[in-house]
Amino acid sequence: MSTEITRHLIGLPLDYGVTVDYIAALLASDPRNSTHVAAVVRVIVHDALADPFRETSANRWRGLLPAWVRPPMVGATVRRLLAAGILVGTDRYVRSTDTRGRNGGKLMPVYALNLATQPLRDHSKPLAPITQV
């Protein structure tokens, strides 16, 4: 039995990053999720702006999210913010305090808010709504 399982697993790619990015884009672009995406963006940006170095992590803003926000929308929104260059990884990590999601103690990234990203600086072109990919 384990030989059959191993044979199937060997053929699977180890990096699902592109697939996850596509799924995050689909979730964030669905109009039914626009209020969830906006709530997550609002909490993350407000938290980062309160930091003198414009840094944030899920430990800081997890408890500030409205209870009605669906958990998958948090990860999808963070991935979209990273893809847009609005959040940037700092190559630093902190231990997660998320015991409810069973992530307590796991390393999680610290992000910096990038207010100089091109979409935010370019006032000659209107910004696409957050619901578009």
- Domains in the chain and their CATH numbers? 14-116 (1.10.10)
The model's pTM: 0.70
For residues 127 and 86, is the Cβ–Cβ distance under 8 A? Answer: no
Lowest mean pLDDT among 4-18, 26-40, 72-86, 109-123: 4-18
Q: With bands split at pLDDT 50, 70 and 90, how would you rate the model's confidence at 127?
A: very low
A 10 A CB-CB count for 8 gives: 8
Give 112-130 as a 3 state SS string: EECCCCHHHHCCCCCCCCC
